[in-house]
Structure formats: structure tokens, C-alpha cells
Amino acid sequence: MLHAPTIESMRTHKRMRNSRRGATAVEFAIVLPIVLLLLIGLCVIQLGTFRYNQIASLAQESARWASVHGKEFANQFDSAIATKEDIFNQVIQPRAKGLDLSKLEYDIVWDENRKMVTVTLRYAWIPETFFSQQVISCTAVSLCTY
């Protein structure tokens, strides 16, 4: 059998609900900074992954372009083999959107037959946060032959 709520039980319930409001505010004040810190951390990790993928893609494209403009290209078109400066001007610089080129180092090494090229890119990335100035180095190496 169900009993109708009494006035006293309704007052007790209202008192308990009002006392819980302060606890909710305290819990929110404790949890909010932790959640925000985790979100900022995830964003920084995602940006680091993006930068690494960007550097790896640049290395791959540079190696592909250099191998296409290697010894066979020079023989067919009676021109010089692609130089380090050519690769920078034709591939790296136009595709390096959002990168600080002063922090980008690159090295191009040909094998003795001038048919295989190794491109190494290094980028000193400073995470885009206001509380960290730590430099993280991204390095990508790509080999390509024609």
C-alpha cells in the first residue's frame, strides 16, 4: 500500500536537494581543470602527429621528385642532375605550408651511380601551447630510386 508523502518528508527531501547543490559546484570546480588539461594535451599530441606526417610527406615527395630528376632525366634531356637547392625550391618550399623554414633542415644524398637518392628532413617543432617552450625534433628519411 502506497502512502501519500507527508509535509515533513517533503521538507526533508527539499533540504537534502539544496545541500547537494554546493557539492555539485565543488565537484565541477575540481573536475573542470583536469578535463581542460586533458583536452589541451590531446590537441597538442594531434598537432605533433600532424607535423610529423607533414615532414614525412615532404621527405617522400622530395625523394620522388629527386629520383625522377636524377641520372636518367639528365641523360634524356641533356641537363644537370637535381641539386639540393633545386629540390628545396621545387618541392620543399612550396609544400611546407605552416612550417617555419628556418627550423627545417634537409639533406639529400645520392648513391655512387646517381640512381638512388636519400632525403632526410629534420624539423624543430615547438608545441603551440602557452606553457611549454620545449623543442621536439621530427625527423623523416625517404629513399627513392628510378
Residue ranges with strand state E in 1-146: 104-110, 116-125, 136-145
Note the pTM of the prediction, 2 decimals: 0.74
Residues of the chain falling short of pLDDT 50: none
Report pLDDT digits (tens) over 68-96: 888 888 888 888 888 899 999 999 999 99
Report the candidate in 108, 141, 104, 106 with the shortest Cα–Cα distance to residue 125. 104
Helices (H) and strands (E) in the chain, counts: 4, 3
- pLDDT score at 69: 87
Report the candidate in 123, 104, 143 with the shortest Cα–Cα distance to residue 51. 123
- HSE value, Cβ hemisphere, 13 Å, CA-based, for 88: 12
Beta strand 136-145 with 104-110 is unpaired
CA distance 53 to 121: 12
The amino acid that residue 99 corresponds to is L
- pLDDT score at 130: 65
CA distance 83 to 112: 15
Q: Angle CA(136)–CA(128)–CA(97) in degrees, nearest 5?
A: 85
- pLDDT score at 21: 67
